[in-house]
Amino acid sequence: MLAELTANSVADSLARRELKPLEAVEAEALARPSALDALEALAPAKHVKVIAEIKRSSPSRGPLADIADPAALARRYELGGASAVSVLTEGRRFGGSLEDLAAVRQAVSIPVLRKDFIATPYQVFEARAAGADLVLLIVAALDEPTLAELFGLVGELGMTALIETHSAEELDRAAALGARLIGVNARNLSTFELDRELFGSLADRFPAGTVRVAESAVTGVADVERYRAAGADVVLVGEALVTGGDPIANLSSFLAV
């Protein structure tokens, strides 16, 4: 189901854009200055860290925010103390683009995550060419050889993979891969259902030394506290930051946890 969704989304986004040849994108990716060290930026610390997301809309929630200037919002996130910025680059359902990512990259000096349904090496090169430091790989959407191939390529390009999981079995697959940055998404991307307890139920399963990311379902500081108490090093927050008024004030309350 999710694999199909990913394939459709990839085909759709590739069909809608004028595509440069792979060699050109690869050359652009390799010509970039080195990616920022996201593992260092997100390393466990005394307080929880936040990856703040630029998110215009989502299939489950519809339009969320009219973000005319993603770079300006990213600057607010950085000022507010976010450790990284996530930019949704999927166009049809999330209203994002690689242009958003490139604009954000120029505006901030913290690591930037390409959040999309990545299923091909081409998209990984594109991410680096646009300036991404991190790339999301969703275990449920990828077969084993593809996941391993993309994970390897992300590393070769000097970027960090955020491996997204939604079950014990997927978390074990992420661990077997040697992932250092692993997320548990509270949202099931096939049914859109939220399971707020999932991160807590899987927290003990993260291999020692990995950075634990709790993704989705933060509506306020109480959710950040709950994730932190369950063992999260990092929370990834979208909707609450794009809809909740001043992101700087919201971030400062989250970062006090």
Ligand X SMILES: O=P(O)(O)OC[C@@H](O)[C@@H](O)c1c[nH]c2ccccc12
Asked whether position 13 contacts ligand X by CB under 6 A, the answer is no
Asked whether position 53 contacts ligand X by CB under 6 A, the answer is yes
Shortest reach from residue 217's CB to ligand X, in Å: 5
Q: What pairing do the DSSP bridges indicate for beta strands 160-165 and 62-63?
A: unpaired
- Number of residues written out for the chain: 257
| Of 29, 112, 147, 217, the one binding ligand X by CB under 6 A | 217
Q: Is 190 a catalytic residue?
A: no
The tokens of 103 are what? Answer: 């604009």
Q: Which residue is nearest to ligand X (CB)?
A: 238
Neighbour-count burial for 131-148, b at 16+ CB within 10 Å, e otherwise: bbbbbbbbbbbbeeebbe
Asked whether position 170 contacts ligand X by CB under 6 A, the answer is no
Distance CA 250, CA 114 (A): 23
Residue with tokens 């661990």: 175
| Of 78, 100, 164, 170, the one binding ligand X by CB under 6 A | 164
CA 254 to chain centre: 18
Cβ proximity of 135 and 127 under 8 Å: yes
Q: Is 215 a catalytic residue?
A: yes
Stretch that binds ligand X, among 25-33, 120-128, 212-220, 244-252 (CB under 6 A): 212-220
Interface ranges with ligand X (CB under 6 A): 53, 55, 115, 164, 185, 215-218, 236-240
Residues annotated catalytic, as ranges: 53, 55, 115, 164, 185, 215-216
